[in-house]
Structure 1
Amino acid sequence: MGESSTDQDGRLGLFGAVSISVGGMIGGGVFAVLGVVATIAGAASWAAFTLASLVSLCAAYSYLRLNAMGDNRGGSVAQLEEYLDDASIAGMVGWTLLFGYVGAIAMYAYAFGSFAVALTPGGVAAAVPLGEALLRPAYSVLAVALFVGLNVLGARATGTSEEVLVVAKVAVLLAFGALGVWFGARQGSMEYGFDTLGSVTPVVMATAVSFVSFQGWQLLMYDQESIRNVETNLPRAIYASILITILVDGLIAIVVTSLAAPDVIQQHPERALAIAVEPIVGGIGFTVVAVAAVFSTGSAINGTLFSAANFAKGMVSDGLLPDETGRAGADGAPRRTVLLLGGIAAVFTAYGSLDAITSFGSLAFMGVFGVVCAIAFARRDHESVNPVAPALGAVGCGAFAVLLGVHLWRAERGTFWAVLILAAAVLAVETVYFERETVLDGVERAEEALTPDEG
């Protein structure tokens, strides 16, 4: 990564692009999903993250191949429409992706709120009615509101500031990871979950839940105009960021599951790393991780909100979203779109559980990534497409989506119904919008059938 981070017109180099992608994925993996995954797979959580990253690599390959082959670039719905030749299906995939981004924002905000509570002085927290039960959602909603405001005002982290933050976060995580391995080895408490791998089921269930943490690379697809030498730097940045993330996630997963008690992780899954490092370096370690988490999840909220709003703007331009949701000709992210996405995410993060939010987000991204992999596989006769990765990606996404449902039904029946109802509501809204002419024709025919013949 010898290139400079940005050039004179502000475009990102390879290092800057990797930083943006890694920042989003670490915000989701280490500071939001890790504890949920650890409660399912235990010491084998590293294997669950690894499996999810491999499927995500297959999806990334499929995105990049389609991006290089088609006339419409940028991972947009227009690109899907080009290959599917069906605006309604492409639009429904786009809506599903938007709801996935809303779920991701809510997940980041949930973790932000939890760490903000941990950093709140005990006296202040005790003085608040209901304590953490009120503070966590309040902080989460405030975080969404803050970054909605920044995006409405046109403020966004520059490539350089993002790089500094990501380098600092990765350095902190690697330092705590190395320290944790050293401490665990001295205590004889290091566990790698090889016995759990034999049963398979917990690992694949946890893989399905962790999938939402590996979607951050996709944001680069919508920022291609801001990347220098995009034909070369885009694939390098995406592949490198996924590999870097799985190394960091895997290391931290091993340390956390080796040093933190399962019941403690289950009580505060989003704070798993901070809980694990506290016995090593005391309260200062917890504070450093909590501060890093606040910056990391805040950065992830900001970046995801910005990219999702721009993605939605493209859908408005293509007639796949109502004009009321935003102005297609806006300079930058449309204000109404930012407000709408932020408002829905705020509701999710205030009233949803972390399990429900991560499960819904994973389900949405598995659905979209599976469709993209299937499209790439259908183009396997093209000389630039190797069919192996798209096939593995499509099968993996489909299988993990089913397994996620099975896990929720067995272990979290309430979350299962919440995710199912939410997914059904999203599908119903999409169907009504894209098949509205058919629905209206059906209503008119029903009215005619029920109206007495006056003749």
Structure 2
Amino acid sequence: MGEQLGLTECVSIALGGMIGGGIYAVLGVVAQVTGPATWFAFALAGAVALCAGYSYNGLNAMGDGRGGSVSFVQQAVGDTTLAGMVGWTLLFGYVGSMAMYAYAFAEFALGFSAVPASYAGVPLRPAVSVVAVALFVALNLLGARTTGAAENVLVAAKVAVLLAFGLFGVAYATGFTDTGLSYGLGQLTTPGPVVGAAISFVAFQGWQLLFYDQGSVADSVRTIRRAVYVAIPTAVVVYVLVAVVTVALAPDALESHPHVALADAASAMLSVVGLSGLGFAVVSVSALFSTGSAINATLFSASHFAERLVRGDLLPDRIGDGDADGVPERTVVVLGALTAAFAVYGSLGAITSFASLSFIVVFGATSALAFRERDDAGVHPLPPAVGAVGALGFAPLMLWNLYTREPGTFWMVLAVGAFVLGVELLYFEREALERELGDVGDALESRG
């Protein structure tokens, strides 16, 4: 109670929610589609995300926007069911994203030779994922200021390593290799980079986490606006640098084992001074920082988001106490448990694909809402229009890519989406269904 996050903590939380999955989980998939033009895919996705961020900031300045997209829909449309379904869809996306981060965290931890891949014949990857989630659940329970301070350290470390990787990699590729850097300019007129942007959009979902508990942020509207405009361009710069260098130095690794392709690229560039092992280790440790801080930031803000949904009767009371002050402890534990379960048992390909699709749809819809409310929100119409057309245009491209490249994942995404939609409708229309069932029961009794 009484804890306030400033601009530094807000930028750290936004970056922590972005840089983690984008570099270590999405880069390889995007590179397989776009090749040397991978950097452009990230830049395009970042531009659309920045337009969506502009839309969020405009709507947030209109009133009580502490629920992010959910509050915006309630204020502008007045449809509680629609607002609740937006909230549930986002919450499911956050759980899937955290499970993806926990999975990647375990993969990098097990990449060190000192850590066995199994014990007594039992794979340790699920156990390491659960331990990672439990660690950041405990950290969040200590309070907002502790969470923000930890995020500052984690983000500073990983951004410094990745920027050094990118800058040194550019120097190495241009000065010590025969091939140099390739930018894939000839591919910019093909659909590949746009499809890659759709796939990479999940890498830019972390900034909107800041809107979910503005009571923990000092001068919230102004601070969050500034944090969004700092965090998204910073993430774009990091992604572009790392993409250019990794595609140039580790093209084979991006095909065979994309999760550790950055480590292979670092090993290659430091081999010139006989420190290839050090390069692999430093980037692997950075990966642990990145995925860990992504879990930390997402869990912190998603828990406050879920608490507001409980307070607005958009989630069951068993998920948390909507009247509690400070850290929403029960909500943190529930989300942590769901994340651990998905990391151990879930089909991560389907879950993370659905998460990316949910962010695309919600960001696009929020941008469209900002365009509709542009006079009241005092926003220029161009950024919301770009955000709406860009994000919503990504959705069919991503589904098409899944259908053609991973048909099994495509059908799983549709199945998961249908399941979530069905559960949402059952919850929000429960009173109407109870009335209908009651009428049917009365009719049957009267006939009997």
Normalised TM-score (structure 1)? 0.90
Match of 1:199 in 2: 190
CA separation in 2, counterparts of 1:217 and 1:288? 26
265, 280, 292: which one aligns with 1:286: 280
Instruction: Please show how residues 150-229 of structure 1 align to structure 2 within 5 Å.
Output: 150-152=139-141, 154=143, 157-185=146-174, 186-189=176-179, 190-200=181-191, 202-229=192-219
Equivalent residues in 2 for 1:49-64, closer than 5 Å: 49-64=42-57
Structure 1 counterpart of 2:257: 268
Within 5 A, what are the aligned runs for 1:242-261? 242-261=232-251
Helix, strand or coil: the match of 2:43?
helix
Does the Cα contact within 8 Å between 2:402 and 2:410 map onto a contact in 1? yes
Amino acid across the alignment from 2:211: M
Alignment partners' CA distance in 2, 1:451 and 1:205: 57
Q: Partners of 1:401 and 1:101 in 2: how far apart?
A: 18
Name the aligned partner's letter for residue 324 of structure 1: R
CA distance in structure 1 between the partners assigned to 2:305 and 2:401 by the alignment: 32
Counterparts of 1:420-431 in structure 2, within 5 Å, are 420-431=414-425
Distance 1:419 1:29 in 2: 20
Structure 1 residues without counterparts, runs of 5 or longer? 1-8
Match of 1:325 in 2: 319
Partner of 1:38: 31
Query: Deviation of residue 353 (structure 1)?
Result: 5.1
Pair 141,40 (structure 1): closer, same or farther in 2 beyond 3 Å: farther
Amino acid across the alignment from 2:413: V
Deviates more, 1:89-98 or 1:363-372: 363-372
Give the distance between the partners of 1:222 and 1:82, measured in 2 at CA.
15
Superposition pairs of residues 273-352 of structure 1, within 5 angstroms? 273-281=262-270, 282-352=276-346
**1:119 counterpart SS class:** coil
Report the more deviating stretch, 352-361 or 407-416.
352-361
| Offset of residue 379 of structure 1 | 0.8
Contact 1:34–1:253 (CA<8 Å) still a contact in 2? yes
Give me the whole-angstrom Cα distance separating, in 1, the residues matched to 2:289 and 2:400.
34
| Partner Cα separation in structure 2 for residue 76 and residue 392 of structure 1 | 18
1:384 to 378, 381, 401: 378
Residues 150 and 156 of structure 1 are in contact (CA less than 8 Å); yes or no, is this contact kept in structure 2? Answer: no
CA gap 1:73/1:142 in 2 versus in 1, 3 angstroms: closer
Q: CA 1:246–1:380 in structure 2 vs 1: closer, same or farther (change >3 Å)?
A: same
Q: How does 1:74-85 map to 2 (within 5 A)?
A: 75=68, 77-85=70-78
Is the contact made by 1:62 and 1:376 (CA closer than 8 Å) also made in structure 2? Answer: yes
Name the SS for the 1:85 alignment partner. coil
Unmatched runs of 5 consecutive residues or more in structure 2: 271-275
- How far the C-alpha of 1:192 sits from its partner, in A, is 1.2
Instruction: State the shift of 1:430 in Å.
Output: 0.5
What is aligned with 1:97? 90
**Overall identity of the aligned pairs, in %:** 52
The residue aligned with 2:117 is 125
Contact map agreement 1:373 1:390 (CA 8 A) in 2: yes
**Which residue type is aligned with residue 188 of structure 1?**
D
8 Å contact kept, 2:217–2:223: yes
Counterpart amino acid of residue 185 in structure 2: F
Kindly indicate whether residue 72 of structure 2 is the aligned counterpart of residue 70 of structure 1. no
TM-score when normalising by structure 2: 0.91
Q: Is the 8 A contact 2:74 2:80 kept in 1?
A: yes
Distance 1:439 1:266 in 2: 50
CA distance in 1, matches of 2:197, 2:222: 30
RMSD: 2.3
